[in-house]
Amino acid sequence: MERYKLLVSDPIAESGLNKLKEFFEVDYRPGLPKEELLNIIGDYSALVVRSETKVTKEVIEKAKNLKVIGRAGVGVDNIDVEEATRKGILVINAPEGNTIAACEHTIGLMLAISRKIPQAFSLLKQGKWERKSFIGNELYGKTLGLVGLGRIGSEVAKRAKSFKMRVIAYDPFISPEKAKELDVELYSDLHSLIKEADYISLHLPLTQETKNLIGKKELEMMKPTAYLINCARGGLVDEDALYEVLKEKKIAGAALDVFKNEPINPDNPLLTLDNVVLTPHLGASTQEAQEKVALIVAEDIIRFFKGEMVSHA
């Protein structure tokens, strides 16, 4: 196979990187500034990214030799897939590599916000043995409303069942049989789910249709005792409206791993609230997931250049 030039512009696991180096002339440049990416992208036949690099129309226009873009993860919302396709560039992702990591992070967020674990630890570090302010809530017997019952949503449902939660879901694209198999009640209307759930957890892609799916109206429909969990994409929620309902204590709290703009600004008002738990897009950040997604993408890109069928285009 000809040794094509391949650029990796976000951090990926060494195992995937080494695999790529067997076949390509690899430039590993995590954190590459946008302007530099625009200057050099024309030299490469393949590009590998995570979520930090924005592969915009402008980047694709400059990518005269690019044949394939590999996304070491699920969401391709940082890539202009339509433009890439128009230019004949294939977009490959690694959809199943980080499912468990994102699912476990979601469960972690649910527990952390319910028992105020980060808030209690923060006071303890200041020398304050504070118990009475940290009366939490149990997951047991509560209703979990999943928006999106795909790979991650399904795994969250299975674990929630072990906590003896009632699980309901809104996903217009899955079959009633699949929901039944998971012992999940499928709702055909998002608003009914929102009104009933004690925890709402988002597990759907960010697209033009799903942008701000959870807006002011939806947030105000939530029970005052309910929590919102978002380990999918920041753009699914109207962040300004969320800040308002949290500040006014119209809902119990929110646990967020993802934000409209990442990284968030240090002056993001969400950081001033007590009824939130925030993590910096760590859903897929486990050793296991990072190795899997890097290897899945590397192997698929190699298949592509060998003229073989790829698994995740």
Backbone angles phi and psi of 99, in degrees to 5: -60, -50
Is residue 102 a contact point for ligand NAD (CB under 6 A)?
Answer: yes
Is residue 290 a contact point for ligand MLT (CB under 6 A)?
Answer: no
- Beta-strand runs (E) in the chain: 5-8, 25-28, 46-49, 68-71, 90-93, 143-147, 166-170, 185-187, 199-202, 227-230, 253-256, 276-278
Residue 168 beta carbon to ligand MLT: minimum distance, rounded to whole angstroms: 24
* Largest Cα span, the chain: 66
Neighbour tally for 95: CB within 10 Å: 18
Chosen residue from 25, 58, 75, 100 binding ligand NAD by CB under 6 A: 75
Residue 108 beta carbon to ligand MLT: minimum distance, rounded to whole angstroms: 15
Asked whether the beta carbons of 173 and 147 are under 8 A apart, the reply is: no
Those residues whose C-beta lies under 8 Å from the C-beta of residue 33, and which sit 6 or more positions away, are none
* Nearest to ligand NAD of 6, 214 (CB atom): 214
DSSP H stretches of helix in 24-138 = 34-40, 57-62, 81-86, 99-115, 117-125
Of the candidate spans 18-26, 64-72, 107-115, 280-288, the one that interacts with ligand NAD by CB under 6 A turns out to be 280-288
Beta-ladder partners of 256 = 230, 278
Partner from ligand NAD, ligand MLT, none binding residue 50, C-beta < 5-8 Å depending on class: ligand MLT
Residue closest to ligand MLT, measured at CB:
73
SS3 170: strand
Contact map string, positions 89 to 108, toward ligand MLT, x by CB under 6 A: ---------x----------
Chosen residue from 12, 32, 59, 74 binding ligand MLT by CB under 6 A: 74
Is residue 284 a contact point for ligand MLT (CB under 6 A)?
Answer: yes
Distance CA 24, CA 48 (A): 12
Chosen residue from 204, 237, 256, 301 binding ligand NAD by CB under 6 A: 204
Residues in the chain, overall count: 313
Chosen residue from 8, 13, 48, 73 binding ligand MLT by CB under 6 A: 73
Burial of 263 (0-12, 13-18, 19+ CB in 10 A): exposed
Is residue 75 a contact point for ligand MLT (CB under 6 A)?
Answer: yes
Q: Which amino acid is at 259?
A: F
Of the candidate spans 69-77, 106-114, 157-165, 301-309, the one that interacts with ligand MLT by CB under 6 A turns out to be 69-77
- List the interface residues with ligand MLT, window 29-48 (CB under 6 A): none
* Nearest to ligand NAD of 45, 154 (CB atom): 154
The catalytic residue positions are 233, 262, 281
Chosen residue from 12, 16, 26, 50 binding ligand MLT by CB under 6 A: 50
Distance CA 52, CA 213 (A): 23
Is residue 6 a contact point for ligand NAD (CB under 6 A)?
Answer: no
Which residues of this chain interact with ligand NAD, rule CB under 6 A?
74-75, 95, 98-99, 102, 147-153, 170-174, 203-206, 209-210, 231-233, 257-258, 281, 283-284
Residues that bind ligand MLT (CB under 6 A): 50-51, 73-75, 98, 281, 283-284
